[in-house]
Amino acid sequence: MPPVLHDNHLMRIVPLLPSTCEPESWLGFPAVELAWAGTVHPGWARAEVHALHLPWQPWGPELGDAALAALRARPGTDFLVLSAEVPAGRSQTSACMAVLEGLLEVTQGAGPRLALRPRPGAAPGLAALLKEARGAAVGFCWDAGLQGDLEAVEDRLYCAVGADGDDFRPLQALGYRWNLAIPAGDPAAHRELAERVAREFPPVLFPVLRDSDPEERP
């Protein structure tokens, strides 16, 4: 797990907004996350932007270029999230590794950390690929599509994205304490939703023990 990036050590429910939207009505929130739309509204320079989420693109130079453009447009972001599928064949695997290696080189040191948001069913394959490539610096972004494959990535969750009506119990059971981003369109409605989700899925201090876990925690 990455280091805690906020003070209360409990999960924050933050708005996920288009990077081009007018930020004025959202500046009262402690943090936001942005869905990359080709550019960033300059007003977001006054806000804490926890993560930039890129739309899905196939592995290749175009994805690398889009990621670099997002990083240049919004420096200081904690995480860069790539929607990802398992590369098919040698050429796609090579393209995947080239994108990740290039971004890791650019972001090493003070840059954001990389997180893959697996497309449905892709989590085990992506986790195996990163393990084989010794890509320990790359983590994952949780969403509801991971429910059946959570075990493959649960020790490397950097961030999370949800929606109204999602079942957050699997995420809650992990003791996850970082941001949960939910797409938002109205500040008041988001505050109401965040309060309701926080009541229904209160943060837990420790992960839930499973049959495969040690009988006692250190």
Instruction: Give me the CATH number covering residue 177.
Output: 3.20.20.150
Per-residue pLDDT reduced to its tens digit, 176-204: 888 999 999 999 999 999 999 988 888 77
Q: Tell me whether residue 63 is in a domain.
A: yes
Mean pLDDT of the chain: 88
Q: Tell me whether residue 43 is in a domain.
A: yes
Q: Tell me whether residue 57 is in a domain.
A: yes
Phi, psi for residue 120 in degrees, rounded to 5: -50, 125
Per-residue pLDDT reduced to its tens digit, 125-141: 999 999 998 888 999 99
pLDDT at 213: 53
Give the β-pairing of 12-18 and 32-35: parallel
Distance CA 85, CA 123 (A): 8
Degrees, nearest 5: CA angle 192-77-204: 45
Please check whether residue 47 is in contact with residue 63, taking contact to mean a CB–CB distance below 8 angstroms.
no
Q: Tell me whether residue 181 is in a domain.
A: yes
Tokens 């990535």 map to which residue? Answer: 153
Q: What is the residue range of 75's domain?
A: 12-200
Q: Tell me whether residue 215 is in a domain.
A: no
Q: Tell me whether residue 32 is in a domain.
A: yes
Q: Tell me whether residue 7 is in a domain.
A: no
Task: Give the number of domains in the chain.
Answer: 1
Per-residue pLDDT reduced to its tens digit, 162-179: 999 999 988 888 888 889
Residue 212 has pLDDT above 70, yes or no: no
Beta-bridged to residue 18, according to DSSP, are 35
Q: Tell me whether residue 216 is in a domain.
A: no
pLDDT at 7: 42
200: helix, strand or coil? helix
Query: 17 burial class (0-12, 13-18, 19+ CB within 10 angstroms)?
Result: buried
